Amino acid sequence: CVAGSGETPVETYYYIKYMANGSNVTNLPGELTQNTKYDANISTVEPKRPGYTFLGWSPDYRDTTGNPHYAPGSLYQDRKDLILYAIWKKDAEPSTPVLPDNPSTGITDYLLPFGGVVSASGVGLGILKKRKNFKQF
């Protein structure tokens, strides 16, 4: 466009698009469209993913650390289209306690010589009465 030629200047724009780079991602920032006359800020919205920690943004989806040049809130001055990928670190799995094959209930029964049963937990005592007129055949 030449000054004084009567032509209307054409506005040009660039975008910053944010990609989840994984499944079950929520809170992903929306795409930003910006006039090329202006710089833009990288979104401060932090995506969430169950079982993962968000490390930052990178133009390389294979990145494992996040790129500090694209830190949330930082100024993007290249003024050209940009696709940023969320970079994730898998959270540590909680340790699972090892249980014995036959876990103890805390109650143990003991047989008594006179025909009774005593529960070690003190829950009950049962005594069998001896029969006087017991006949064998």
- In a domain, residue 42? The reply is yes
Over residues 7-33, mean pLDDT: 96
Half-sphere exposure of 124 (CA within 13 A, CB side): 4
Q: Tokens 């040009």 belong to which residue? A: 12
CA angle 20, 82, 70 (to 5 degrees): 75
Q: What is the pLDDT of residue 9?
A: 85
* Domain tally, the chain: 1
Is residue 76 situated within a structural domain? yes
Q: Does a structural domain hold residue 53? A: yes
Does 130 reside within a domain? no
Residue 17 lies in a domain: yes
Residue 73 lies in a domain: yes
Binned at pLDDT 50, 70 and 90, residue 123 comes out as very low
Task: For residue 50, name the pLDDT band (cuts at 50, 70, 90).
Answer: very high
**pLDDT for residue 135:** 59
**For residues 111 and 60, which has the higher predicted lDDT (pLDDT)?**
60
Tokens encoding 17: 């698009």
- Residue span of the structural domain in which 46 resides: 13-90
pTM of the model: 0.64
pLDDT class for 5, splitting at 50, 70, 90? confident
CATH number of the CATH domain containing 42: 2.60.40
Measure the CA dihedral 16/21/27/32, to 10°: 10
58 lies in a domain?
yes
Per the domain annotation, does 65 fall within a domain? yes
Averaged pLDDT for residues 34-41 = 98
State pLDDT tens for residues 54-86: 999 999 999 999 999 999 999 999 999 999 999
Residue 106 structure tokens: 């805390």
* Contact in structure between 18 and 72 (CB atoms under 8 Å): no
For range 10-34, the mean pLDDT: 98
